[in-house]
Chains A and B, each alone.
Chain A
Amino acid sequence: MSDTNVVASAADLALVERLRAGDETTFMMLVEEHQATMLRIARMHVSSRAVAEEVVQEAWLGIVKGLDGFRGRSSLRTWMYRIVTNVAKTRGQREGRSIPFSALAGDEGEPAVDPAWFFGATEPSPGGWRRFPDAWHEIPEDRLIGHETLARIGSAIEALPPLQAEVIRMRDVLGMSSEEVRNALDLSETNQRVLLHRARSRVRRALDAYLMEERNER
Chain B
Amino acid sequence: MSQRALTCHEVVEIITDYLEDVLPAEDRRRVEEHLVVCDGCTMYLEQMRETIRLTGMLTVEQIPEEQQRRLLEAFRTWTA
- Residues of A that sit less than 8 Å from B by CB: 22, 24, 27-28, 31-33, 35-37, 39, 53, 57, 60-61, 64-65, 111-113, 115, 118, 126-129, 132-137, 144-145, 149-150, 153-154, 157, 168, 172-175, 178, 193, 196-197, 200-201, 203-204, 207-208
CB distance from A61 to the nearest CB of B (A): 6
B contact residues around A61 at 8 Å (CB)? 74, 78
Docked complex: B19-75 residues within 8 A CB-CB of A = 20, 22, 38-41, 43-44, 46-48, 50-52, 54-58, 60-63, 67-68, 70-72, 74-75
Whether B50 pairs with A27 at a CB distance below 8 angstroms is no
B contact residues around A37 at 8 Å (CB)? 60
CB distance from B3 to the nearest CB of A (A): 16
- How many angstroms from the CA of A197 to the CA of B18 in the assembled complex? 11
Whether A204 pairs with B51 at a CB distance below 8 angstroms is yes
Task: Please count the residue pairs between chain A and chain B whose beta carbons lie under 8 angstroms apart in the complex.
Answer: 133
Q: Which of B7, B16, B46, B54 contacts A126 (CB 8 A)?
A: B7
- How many angstroms from the CA of A65 to the CA of B62 in the assembled complex? 25
Please tell me the size bucket of the interface on B.
35 or more
Whether A200 pairs with B47 at a CB distance below 8 angstroms is no
CB distance from A117 to the nearest CB of B (A): 8
Whether A172 pairs with B52 at a CB distance below 8 angstroms is yes
Whether B56 pairs with A172 at a CB distance below 8 angstroms is yes
CB distance from B71 to the nearest CB of A (A): 5
Whether A145 pairs with B54 at a CB distance below 8 angstroms is yes
- How many angstroms from the CA of A28 to the CA of B51 in the assembled complex? 32
Given contacts A24-B75, A113-B12, A133-B40, contact A127 B58 (CB under 8 A): no
Given contacts A173-B60, A204-B48, contact A149 B8 (CB under 8 A): no
- How many angstroms from the CA of A108 to the CA of B49 in the assembled complex? 23
CB distance from A11 to the nearest CB of B (A): 18
- How many angstroms from the CA of A39 to the CA of B67 in the assembled complex? 11
A contact residues around B41 at 8 Å (CB)? 129
Q: Which of B7, B40, B46, B58 contacts A137 (CB 8 A)?
A: B46
Whether B57 pairs with A150 at a CB distance below 8 angstroms is yes
Q: Which of A36, A53, A111, A153 contacts B62 (CB 8 A)?
A: A36
A contact residues around B7 at 8 Å (CB)? 118, 126-128
Q: Cβ of B2 < 8 Å from any Cβ of A?
A: no
Whether A144 pairs with B8 at a CB distance below 8 angstroms is no
Q: Find the B residue at minimum CB distance from A198.
A: B16
B contact residues around A126 at 8 Å (CB)? 7
Whether A200 pairs with B9 at a CB distance below 8 angstroms is no
Q: Which of B16, B51, B79 contacts A193 (CB 8 A)?
A: B16
Whether B55 pairs with A173 at a CB distance below 8 angstroms is yes
Given A64-B75, A136-B47, 7 extra CB contacts under 8 A: A22-B75, A27-B72, A113-B44, A118-B7, A132-B43, A157-B58, A173-B58
